[in-house]
Every structure is written in structure tokens, then in C-alpha cells.
Structure 1
Amino acid sequence: MSLQLDYSNEQDKVNIPDAWIEKLQELLRLAGEAEGMSEGEVTLTFVDDAAIHELNREYRGIDRPTDVLSFAMQDDGTEELDIIFEVESEDELDPISGMLGDIIISVERAVSQSQEYGHSLEREIGFLFVHGYLHLIGYDHQDEASEAIMTAKQEAVLRQAGLTR
């Protein structure tokens, strides 16, 4: 098995070309390699602002749309998922392999942000995807130090994939 991406497009405002999905698969592979992960499955869903607003309200208690949401399969909802990458023996399963979780991206929000930041929509969706992936494996940005770590990791992966500003 390798890192697998399953996706669905539940919005109709922006066409998501096959080439973008291939780029997202590349980003998943690169982000996984950077974190020492070679196995797992991520489900990605493209939605509009209304759908992500509803999810944000229901699951986070925040009554507004957001750009990306991540739902880690290994997360019990009470604490951040510990970042675990190494296996002690070959017989022991990696605790975060298998289904890693779901990433939901608001394409409407991505369009707005790509225009605001002056880069391509493909780059913005790639950024949000890598950001969501890092959340799935336990990273967060609750303070400046952890935000700097996530940002550096995201930018390094995007740079490797040729998605620069």
C-alpha cells in the first residue's frame, strides 16, 4: 500500500481538472515522505462555502465558512493527535496508517484567497490540502511557534511540487 487519495467534488462553481488531482496526489506523496510516512488513505471533498459553513458550525461550533477542515480518523476529539512516525518492530502496525481522515476544502474560499494572495487557484488548493494533511497527522497551529513549523512544512512541500507564489 502507499499513500492514497480519494476525492469527490460536491461543488459546481469551479471545474477541478484531472491535472490538479494528479498534483494533489503528488503533494500527498511529498508531504508523506517529508514526515516519514508511506502508507495511508486521505479522503478529499471539494465543497462550496455553504457546505463548509454548516460543517464548521456543526463540528467546531464556529458559525461561519472556513477554507479547510480536517477530520482525523485517529482523533477522539478530546486532544490533539500525537505525531507518531516510527514503528518499533516490523510486526507492529503504524498507529496512523490506514485511513488517516477527511479533508474538506471550500473551493469558493480558495478562489477568494488565491486572488487575495496573488497566486494561482491550483497553488491555493494545494496549500489548503497540505495544511489539512498536516492536521490529520497531528500538527496544529495554536501558537506562533507551531504555526511557523506548519507553514515551513507546507511551503517546502509546495516548493518541491513547483507550486510557488
Structure 2
Amino acid sequence: MINIYPVFHNKKQYLDLLLLADEQESMIDRYLERGDMFVLSDNNEVKASCVITEEGAGVYEIKNIAVYPQFQRQGYGKKLISFLLEHYKTQCHTMLVGTGDSPITISFYKNCGFVYSHRIPNFFIDNYDHPIFEDGKQLKDMIYLKISKSR
């Protein structure tokens, strides 16, 4: 049985999971405590987590969403996205997510209903202390995608 629940304390107990989506702990520290954290478990086994922040004026940003590798491509990430959209539906008019320029990741978000918003050039080069690679490609720009609802 799938259960999604908030984590209010000791969020770093899930650091191994958080590092799957953001591989530098100092970057996670920038948003972890100010964000809302949720964990998804299935049959009492943790499968995925996410951290979302309120950016003001009805804008929320998914800062971190990760599924353990052995549970990927089983719908857990999509369930978390659906949960977040429902959970924040009354106060959120735009849900943002920033990611590296990786076709697999961007395709996942587009399948969840996100569309291209904007790009921050050299984000990964300027903000990380080491090169970040995904699918053999060095990440440079942060690609932002969004879901917006009309008011």
C-alpha cells in the first residue's frame, strides 16, 4: 500500500535519497530546512522522496525529487508529482522544477504535464564544486519547466 507522508524533523535521515537528485550536500542544505519534505513508501518500504519550497506569490518549486534506482520506472515519481499538485492546489498557481539538460529527465517531467519555462545558463558550472554528469553528458544549464493553472 502506497503512503505519502510529510517529514518535519531529521530530514537528513534521507540524505542518501536526496543525493540521488542533487549530488552536492551543500546545495541540498540551501533548501532542505525551508522546504516541505514528503516521503513515499510502498508496503512500509521507502521508495522516493521530494522537497518543495514556496517561492512566493503562489509559486512553488520542486527542489528535489528522487526514487531509489531499483524502484525507478514504476510510477513512484509520477505519484509524488500528482500528490504535490493536489496537495498545493489551493495556494499554488505555478509549480516549477529545475533540472539538468537531460532528455530522460525532461521527458519524465513533460509526461507529468510540465512545459518549458526558462533556462539558467551555466547553473551547474557556477554553483557546484565539481562537474555534474548525467547519461554521460556534463550538465551546464538549469532547465526550468512549469505547470501553471489559470486563475
Q: TM-score, normalised by structure 2?
A: 0.30
Q: Which structure has greater strand proportion?
A: 2
Q: Which structure is higher in RCO with an 8 Å CA cutoff and minimum separation 6? A: 1
Q: TM-score, normalised by structure 1?
A: 0.28
Structure ID, larger Rg: 1
- Greater helix share, structure number: 1
